[in-house]
Chains A and B, each alone.
Chain A
Amino acid sequence: MLRTIKPKNARVKRALDARLPKEIEDPRTAVFVKGTHTGEVLNGVMKDLMALKRPDAISFNKKNDVHPFDASSTSTASLEFWAGKNDASLFLVGQTTKKRPHGLTFVRMFDCRVLDMIEVGVEKYIPMADFKTPKSTPGHKPLMHFASELFDTHPRFIQLKSMLIDFFNGEEIESICLPGIGHVISISLAPTPASLNTATEFTTDATTVTSLPKVHLRTYTIKFLSSGTRIPRAELVPMGPSLDLVLRRHQPADAILLKEAMKRPKLKKTDVEKGLGKKRKNMEVDAMGDLRGQIHVGKQDLGKLQTRKMKGLKAKAGDDIASDEDGEDDEDGFMPRKKQRQS
């Protein structure tokens, strides 16, 4: 645990307040950590994934002796320390060994504690630079596409889907600029093996890692073509990186911790109308449940105010002042009627 810092000036206080828990959370920051050995492949993979994750990504330059799945090591403590220090809640640890070549471990944190982990092995990797095509703009939100029924049924793939959505696209946003949609991350699986299709107890129990289908991660840029309707036709161009992954070890989320993590803020109806915990000025919901707005108008220039039109008030030449009332009545068609009313 980090020592508690008492803010000594306003800037530090602001920075500390920004790290406090919020009802509507900021995007998750990911830290890219190199293990003791990372080959050329893993370095490239992590660089490309970082390019996709930017600007919410931090890269550690040096190698670190972390083995997240090794319970006897102090890796969990290291991860928790880094999470607190960097205000990050996602880690991508790359480590290649003889037994598990090209291993990538996704670690998700909750409250600076490890929530769950997935290890995948990279089987095939084509770097982003090998595709001579336009790339996505950093900071633009990707679309996420998943294809296979296992993403809805198999616990390992449900976890993978949740992790990848959290990694690339976890932030809740209110609106999106439609022309800004530029790329898609597509994750699809190899055909489901027969052992996973037969839903007997024996097979679900003994799903070894080898029987799980491969995961294909592809990234495409989207080109909008006019289709004659409001919805444009999308043309996808491979952008890279493209990865073929196999699932390896995993650690499911602890039930108590997950329950805590899945808690939603209890938003009052008034808060929902006020903009989901975000401050919206000059709007309030009154006791009757009606939305009331407050409008600020500029100061009125009373000099230009149009009052009742009268000849006598008109700024004209001097002869106007000299003329008497009877003469005016004859000229103006409206005046006699008003006189009738007065009488």
Chain B
Amino acid sequence: MDVSHILVTNSRQPDRSEKDDSVQLDPGLLAVTDLNTIDEESYNTDLEAHLLSLAQTGVQSLLGSLFSLPTTSSPDGPLAQLPPPIYQLPRAKPLPKPKAKTKWELFAAAKGIQKKTREKRVWDEEKQDWVNRWGRGGKNKEVEDQWITEVPMNADVDHDPRKAARDARKERVAKNDKQHLQNIARSQESSGPSSTREGRKQEINKTVAAARISTASMGKFDKQLEGEKKPRGVKRKFDPAEAPAEQEKQSSLALLSRMESDSKKMRKDPQADEKVLNVRKAVRFASKGKGGVALGRDVSGKKGKARTGRGKR
């Protein structure tokens, strides 16, 4: 008796594994999709029990795949190493853009110059010690800080060797800062409108024109510089009224193709509710307000069948 009971329970389990082809498991996202059709009878008899049993089988199959994954141990318990997800979800942000190369990096790449890491500290022969290349007690301030400096023979009376060295160092720093800013500007420009020389020129002209009428008198009482021209407005241009037929055809076709093209459109296909034909309205109109069922009856057979039972209402 017991044996038969065990056999019955065991015979059920292969049924579940047969169902597996209709169960999509995605252990990477901890998700399972049961693609079997919903049993209407059990749905109608007891909804909660039906949903619970569905969830139970689904979860059991997902757990089966999760617990058979390779694990590593951790203080909280075994960690299952998840495979990458199968179901693809849209990203929340676009992919990160690669960092723009500096002018030096471009040059070095073209010339095949390898990047060398520059050590922060250098060996000082006099002190017999490692000193900073820059910064506190830096090697680049050596000339400024030393207590005696050689002055060239042809130097001015007010020649200050410490100031000269300091100015030269400050200049190098300023140059580097300028190059850094130029690199930033270049990386931002590569996509902007003023990437070309012509574009930059136009932008400057626009700024100058705007600045000239930005005073309280709209530029009327401003001091005119020598050789400054009067700001001119935009001159409208019209195509000639009579154009060759070929040219007219080409311009019209270009306009049409621009209207047809999808490149400028935000949304490709209209939404369901935005459709030109309002189906509900059309059916109501065609059936004279009786509805789609009556219309179908009328179309299929006009034998007066549709009229049965109407009069009693």
Give me the interface of A with B, judged by CB distance under 8 Å: 20-23, 25, 28, 89, 108-111, 115, 141-149, 151-152, 161-162, 165-166, 169-170, 172-181, 184, 186, 188-192, 206, 216, 218, 220, 222, 230-236, 238, 249, 251-256, 258, 260-265
Contact = CB atoms under 8 A, between A and B. Distances in A.
B38 A89 contact: no
Contact of B96 (A22, A145, A251): A22
A186 B55 contact: yes
Given A175-B81, A177-B76, A252-B271, A115 B34 contact: no
A150 to B, nearest CB: 9
B252 interface: no
B279 interface: yes
A173 B71 CA distance: 14
A21 B89 contact: no
A191 B43 CA distance: 8
Given A22-B96, A146-B31, A265-B95, A251 B81 contact: no
Interface in B64-87: 64, 66-68, 71-72, 74, 76-82, 84-85, 87
B279 A206 contact: yes
Interface of B: 22, 24, 28-40, 43, 47-48, 51-52, 54-56, 58-60, 62-64, 66-68, 71-72, 74, 76-82, 84-85, 87-97, 266-268, 271, 273, 279
Contacts of A146: 31-34, 58
A141 B47 CA distance: 26
Given A174-B82, A179-B78, A184-B55, 8 more contacts: A110-B93, A148-B34, A166-B89, A178-B79, A181-B30, A188-B34, A218-B51, A234-B56
Closest 5 CB pairs of A and B: A261-B90, A89-B92, A186-B55, A144-B31, A21-B93
A186 B37 contact: no
21 contacts: A20-B96, A23-B96, A25-B93, A89-B92, A144-B30, A144-B32, A145-B31, A145-B55, A147-B38, A175-B72, A175-B80, A177-B76, A177-B80, A178-B79, A181-B63, A206-B279, A218-B55, A234-B60, A249-B273, A254-B267, A255-B268
A36 B92 CA distance: 27
Contacts of A23: 95-96
B70 to A, nearest CB: 10
A23 to B, nearest CB: 6
A258 B90 contact: yes
Contacts of B80: 175-178
Given A220-B52, A254-B267, A262-B88, A236 B71 contact: no
Contacts of B59: 143, 145, 184, 186, 220, 222, 234, 236
B12 to A, nearest CB: 14
Nearest to B54: A147
A179 B76 contact: yes
Given A178-B80, A220-B55, A161 B90 contact: no
B54 A186 contact: yes
Contact of A152 (B24, B97, B271): B24
B67 A151 contact: no
A170 to B, nearest CB: 6
B79 A176 contact: yes
Contacts of A234: 56, 59-60, 63
B273 A188 contact: no
B92 A149 contact: no
A269 B46 CA distance: 52
A231 B76 contact: no
Contacts of A111: 93-94
A18 to B, nearest CB: 12
Contacts of A149: 22, 35-37
A145 B32 contact: yes
A236 B52 contact: yes
A175 B67 CA distance: 12
A169 B29 contact: yes
Nearest to A218: B51
Contact of A110 (B40, B84, B85, B92): B92
A142 B32 CA distance: 12
Contacts of B52: 218, 220, 236, 238
Contacts of B40: 191
A177 B90 contact: no
A178 B68 CA distance: 11
A3 to B, nearest CB: 16
B77 A192 contact: no
A281 B34 CA distance: 41
B263 to A, nearest CB: 9
Contacts of A144: 29-32
Nearest to A89: B92
A25 B89 CA distance: 11
A80 to B, nearest CB: 13
Nearest to B72: A175
A181 B96 contact: no
